[in-house]
């Protein structure tokens, strides 16, 4: 007769072996992408002409250099023409820590003041890639794992889909950025604010404040987070509202104060008499550069799509009116998601089922709101689509067909940027691996019926994924075989922008439909059933 203890030991060993394989696979994908070129490598920018050397890789390295050599009052003022610091304070502090780590691990020449500009030493590249990998796994990976129970096959598939997103991996580990830090902090925040006890909401507010102070684009989530927390604060009457808003507001304001106080307190070395309010104003202007115009590159959003001939909307609207028009349209598109989460927040979450429903609706709402900003806000970058993609991936078992389709559309929309970075090989390889995962998932599901926006009775809805894939692959083939005419050198970039805008607009509409009709089926977050 087999011994029960031996069987339990074998099961535990099998579980550990699987987890080791699981996380090793996720790490290997990221490391493999890291062997490909990064943005601005060898000062290559395609047909563009950049004033400063390199790209985002050199910018992040330069911030490490300047933060460890200059007093904190100079961080947002030093040589702004050469990749001046333009991310919020938490990014600056992380750059300072990474800078000192590079100084001691790689060597002081890797972050030597000014003389290290443009350095692309293999050891330092490995260190830089390692910082992205470490922060990605520790913050984004742990946030996704915490938010999604890893106990059964379905939830493990959800985690795998979230952590193997081609778009996120190619931008962070290929192009080179630390988006996963902000995304991880945001997901951690969402996981906390839906818990039944309001103390968790305070922790959620703290994590979201960290996300805002790491990457300003997490403002894409801010309206939904604000209205949901406003509903939670208002759900128990006036006295409870005062108590809750005070505790939540105190945590948020104190966190902002700690992170921002040095940049208000200390003047730049060459402007010691500069008033504190002007120091603060300068940092805010660095983080939100409204002077750049409605858009720069060709992004798959409404403004770029509406700027093609004969519309040319950017030339028809006065420059000073463009930010206000963008703000108005963004608010209109974001209003449905904000209204819904306010209603949900007013319904106190006291059971696991209710908390689970709050979680699902909050993810649909943050996806919808992020798409609203991507489609309509001012100065959108291609990489901003990651903010809509991250929460959407956690809804995998709510509508796997839609999430798979949306994942492919997101990475496809980034191809013009990845092409400039010479990441075509990484793009095709990682997209093929992700497509294989999707295929294996469908094989594993067998004949199980999956509810999806694409599996209803409407022939048009059922046809959208296939039509989209034909269009996306068709553009790839056309670009490879047919040179653009001389008078339209950016023809394919424009087609990418217009087609991407159409698909993202449809995705926004789907999120609204899901938000107002969603149920709580599928794997839950790691919820705690506590009373307030």
- What is the rounded CA–CA span in Å between residue 212 and residue 227? 16
Q: Distance between alpha carbon 232 and the CA centroid of its chain, in Å?
A: 25
Look up the pTM and report it: 0.92
Residue 377 has pLDDT above 60, yes or no: yes
Residue 99 lies in a domain: no
pLDDT at site 317: 84
SS (H, E, C) 330-351: HHHHHHHHHHHHHHHHCCCCCC
Residue 62 lies in a domain: no
Q: Residue 250 corresponds to which tokens in the numbers above?
A: 């105190």
Q: Residue 118 corresponds to which tokens in the numbers above?
A: 């443009």
- Region 151-174: mean pLDDT is 87
Residue 151 has pLDDT above 70, yes or no: no
- Provide the pLDDT confidence category of residue 308 given band limits of 50, 70 and 90: confident
Higher pLDDT, 425 or 153: 425
Residue 450 lies in a domain: yes
Find the range with the poorest average confidence among 39-43, 69-73, 242-246, 528-532: 528-532
Residue 413 has pLDDT above 70, yes or no: yes
Find the range with the poorest average confidence among 231-245, 301-315, 386-400: 301-315
Residue 381 has pLDDT above 70, yes or no: yes
Residue 321 has pLDDT above 80, yes or no: yes
Residue 212 has pLDDT above 50, yes or no: yes
- Provide the pLDDT confidence category of residue 204 given band limits of 50, 70 and 90: very high
Helix axes 386-393, 179-193, angle to 10 degrees: 50
pLDDT in tens, 230-265: 999 998 888 999 999 999 999 999 999 999 999 999
Burial of residue 2 (number of CB atoms within 10 Å: 0-12, 13-18, 19+): exposed
Higher pLDDT, 2 or 256: 256
Residue 118 lies in a domain: no
Nearest to 507 by CA among 384, 343, 378, 372: 372
Residue 173 has pLDDT above 70, yes or no: yes
Domain of 218? Answer: 138-517
Percent of the chain with pLDDT over 90: 67
* Number of structural domains in the chain: 1
Q: What are phi and psi of 448, to 5 degrees?
A: -60, 130
Residue 494 lies in a domain: yes
Higher pLDDT, 154 or 242: 242
Higher pLDDT, 111 or 292: 111
Residue 72 lies in a domain: no
Residue 7 has pLDDT above 50, yes or no: no
Nearest to 418 by CA among 175, 217, 237: 175
Residue 76 lies in a domain: no
Residue 35 has pLDDT above 70, yes or no: yes
- Provide the pLDDT confidence category of residue 450 given band limits of 50, 70 and 90: low
Residue 146 has pLDDT above 80, yes or no: yes
Is the Cβ–Cβ distance between 472 and 465 less than 8 Å?
Answer: no
273, HSE (Cβ side, Cα atoms, 13 Å)? 0
Token pair 């990014």 is found at 91
- Region 305-313: mean pLDDT is 83
Residue 287 lies in a domain: yes
Q: What is the mean pLDDT of the chain?
A: 89
pLDDT in tens, 284-296: 999 987 777 777 7
Cβ-based neighbours of 76, under 8 Å, separated by 6 or more: 84, 85, 86, 92, 263, 282, 283, 286
The H-assigned helical ranges of 70-214 are 89-105, 122-135, 142-147, 153-163, 166-169, 179-193, 198-212
């Amino acid at each position: 007769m087999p011994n029960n203890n031996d069987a339990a030991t074998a099961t535990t060993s099998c579980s550990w072996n699987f987890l080791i394989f699981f996380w090793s696979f996720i790490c290997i994908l990221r490391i493999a992408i890291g062997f490909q070129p990064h943005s601005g490598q060898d000062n290559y920018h395609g047909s563009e002409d950049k004033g400063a050397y390199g790209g985002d890789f050199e910018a992040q390295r330069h911030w490490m250099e300047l933060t460890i050599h200059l007093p904190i009052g100079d961080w947002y003022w030093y040589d702004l023409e050469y990749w001046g610091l333009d991310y919020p304070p938490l990014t600056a502090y992380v750059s300072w820590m990474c800078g000192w780590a590079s100084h001691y691990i790689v060597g002081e020449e890797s972050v030597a003041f000014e003389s290290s500009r443009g350095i692309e030493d293999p050891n330092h590249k490995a260190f830089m890639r390692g910082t992205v990998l470490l922060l990605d796994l520790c913050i984004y990976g742990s946030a996704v794992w915490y938010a999604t129970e890893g106990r059964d096959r379905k939830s493990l598939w959800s985690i795998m889909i979230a952590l193997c997103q081609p778009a996120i991996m190619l931008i962070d580990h290929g192009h080179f950025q630390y988006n996963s830090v902000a995304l991880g902090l945001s997901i951690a925040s969402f996981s906390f604010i839906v818990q039944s006890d309001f103390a968790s909401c305070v922790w959620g507010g703290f994590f979201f404040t960290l996300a805002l102070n790491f990457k300003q684009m997490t403002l894409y989530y801010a309206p939904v987070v604000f209205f949901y927390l406003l509903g939670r604060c208002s759900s128990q009457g006036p006295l409870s509202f005062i108590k809750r808003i005070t505790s939540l507001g105190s945590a948020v304001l104190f966190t902002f104060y700690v992170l921002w106080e040095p940049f208000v307190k200390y003047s730049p070395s060459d402007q010691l008499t500069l008033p504190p309010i002007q120091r603060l104003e300068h940092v805010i202007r660095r983080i939100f550069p409204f002077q750049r115009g409605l858009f720069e590159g060709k992004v798959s959003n409404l403004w770029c799509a509406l700027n093609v001939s004969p519309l040319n909307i950017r030339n028809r609207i006065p420059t000073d009116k463009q930010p206000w028009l963008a703000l108005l349209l963004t608010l209109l598109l974001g209003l449905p998601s904000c209204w819904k989460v306010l209603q949900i927040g007013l319904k106190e979450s006291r059971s696991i089922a209710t908390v689970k429903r709050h979680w699902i609706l909050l993810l649909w709402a943050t996806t919808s709101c992020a798409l609203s900003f991507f489609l309509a806000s001012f100065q959108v970058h291609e990489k901003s689509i990651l903010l809509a993609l991250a929460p959407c991936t956690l809804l995998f078992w709510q509508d796997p067909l839609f999430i798979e389709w949306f994942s492919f559309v997101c990475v496809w929309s980034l191809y013009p940027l990845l092409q400039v970075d010479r990441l075509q090989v990484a793009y095709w390889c990682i997209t093929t691996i992700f497509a294989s995962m999707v295929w294996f998932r469908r094989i594993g599901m067998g004949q199980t019926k999956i509810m999806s926006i694409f599996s209803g009775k409407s022939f048009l809805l059922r046809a959208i994924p296939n039509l989209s894939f034909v269009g996306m692959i068709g553009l790839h083939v056309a670009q490879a075989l047919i040179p653009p005419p001389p008078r339209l050198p950016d023809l394919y970039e424009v087609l990418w922008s217009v087609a991407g805008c159409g698909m993202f607009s449809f995705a926004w509409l789907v999120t609204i439909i899901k938000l107002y009709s969603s149920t709580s089926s599928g794997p839950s977050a790691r919820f705690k059933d506590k009373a307030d």
